[in-house]
Amino acid sequence: MTKPADIIRPDVLSMTTYAVPDATGFVKLDAMENPYTLPEPLAARLGEVLAGVALNRYPLPRPAALGDKLKAVMGAPSGADVLLGNGSDELISMIAVACAKPGAKLLAPTPGFVMYQMSAKFAQLEFVGVPHRADLTLDVEAMLAAIAEHKPAIVYLPYPNNPTGTLYSDADIERVVAAATGSLVVIDEAYQPFAQKSWIGRVLDYDNVVVMRTVSKLGLAGIRLGYLVGARAWLDEFDKVRPPYNVNVLTQAAAEFILDHVDVLEAQAAELRAERAKLAQAVGALPGATVFPSAANFLLVRVPDADAAFRALLNAKVLVKNVGKMHPLLSNCLRLTVGAPGENAQMLAVLQQALN
């Protein structure tokens, strides 16, 4: 009898599935989602648009109208190209596959987004993690030394970083880009609506830089759309490993419609930035809590006992992310998504009780 263990790669057999907990009945503050829905009139108009989509036809692989609208709305420079993915996750996978020469390496700061390391493993690239400093800021000297030693094919620079919320300085990024002359530097701007800073306008100033974004954190996590902006020479190569018809017609139509009303999502992001400041101040005042600076829509918080605090929140039907076991630098840390005011108040009340 043939078994999976006879066929599947040993490293895959040793992995666990990417876990997504069932959030039914919970205040969901674990996945950095925008808690706000579209205004009802706008949602109704979107429904009319989607009702007219030809579901019997395959989607365009590189829809020019949507690409042009994304570049215009998001401030890409003239001459830049765009490539779409089924979320940023697929783009990360495509980059890894395209660059997976024998012996190639992928380098990123750690702790960081888990998909950088997972994509390397899937494509059988060597992953090189460069730890942040103890205060979770970028260790630039260590990054430069690692680039010189390992000569990676790919360098990821999250801007800002998940799960720390750290926004690296432009000077630090410039040093890394200048040092990585033999690498592709991917600047990941998944949380740009909350950082309000971007490298997208400078993406063509360097021959080894692309910028990656997603509409998920902006408020459209459910449609799964990521996009890569950069020189056509890079994007045409990544397009060769893109699965055919990877972005479905409903996603394309929804994104094109919403981009005409992006001011609604930007207003929601502004509300969340204001809530982030309030929540950071309130959590920072709790006994034993340390809040790290965040330019994203979440807070990284160190508490005396993250497991106990997480259980208290879970028992109260508040779902956050316990990241304490992800990396030594995250010991006793929780990641708290910034929600709507009522959700934040509920989380804060439970956390206050747990820490007292």
pLDDT in tens, 92-101: 999 999 999 9
Average pLDDT, whole number, for the chain? Answer: 96
Cα–Cα distance for residue pair 163/333, rounded to 1 Å: 10
The number of residues in the chain equals: 356
Q: Is the pLDDT of residue 16 over 90?
A: no
- The pair of three-digit structure tokens given for residue 155, joined into one six-digit string: 């360098």
Residues facing 231 on adjacent strands: none
DSSP 64-112: HHHHHHHHHHHTPPTT-EEEEESHHHHHHHHHHHHT--TT-EEEEEES-
Q: What is the pLDDT of residue 20?
A: 84
Q: What is the pLDDT of residue 21?
A: 83
Q: Is the pLDDT of residue 17 over 90?
A: no
Q: What is the pLDDT of residue 146?
A: 98
Note the maximum CA span of the chain: 61
Q: Is the pLDDT of residue 19 over 90?
A: no
Residues 38 and 264: beta-carbon distance below 8 Å? yes
- Write down the CATH number for the domain with range 4-39+263-355: 3.90.1150.10
Q: What are phi and psi of 48, to 5 degrees?
A: -65, -40
Amino acid identity of residue 216, one-letter, is: S
Cα–Cα distance for residue pair 222/225, rounded to 1 Å: 9
Q: Which residues neighbour 163 within 8 Å (Cβ) at sequence distance 6 or greater?
A: 111, 112, 298, 300, 321, 323, 326, 330, 333, 335
Helix (H, G, I), strand (E, B) or coil at 123: coil
Q: What is the pLDDT of residue 322?
A: 97
pLDDT in tens, 96-151: 999 999 999 999 999 999 999 999 999 999 999 999 999 999 999 999 999 999 99
User: Mean pLDDT across the stretch 243-262?
Assistant: 97
Nearest to 211 by CA among 88, 61, 59, 58: 88
User: Mean pLDDT across the stretch 150-165?
Assistant: 98
Amino acid identity of residue 136, one-letter, is: L
The domain segmentation of the chain, as residue ranges, is: 4-39+263-355, 58-261
Residues 290 and 302: beta-carbon distance below 8 Å? yes
- Residue that has been written with the tokens 């449609």 in this structure: 223
Q: Which CATH number fits domain 58-261: 3.30.70.250, 3.40.640.10, 1.10.3730.10, 3.30.300.20?
A: 3.40.640.10
Give first-to-last CA distance, the chain, whole Å.
57
- The pair of three-digit structure tokens given for residue 84, joined into one six-digit string: 């779409």
Buried b (16+ CB within 10 A) or exposed e, 296-332: bbbbbbbbeebeebbebbeebebbbbbbbebbebbeb
Residues facing 143 on adjacent strands: none
Residues 276 and 32: beta-carbon distance below 8 Å? no
Using pLDDT thresholds of 50, 70 and 90, give the confidence band for residue 18: confident
Helix (H, G, I), strand (E, B) or coil at 154: strand
Q: What is the pLDDT of residue 67?
A: 95
Q: Is the pLDDT of residue 356 over 90?
A: no
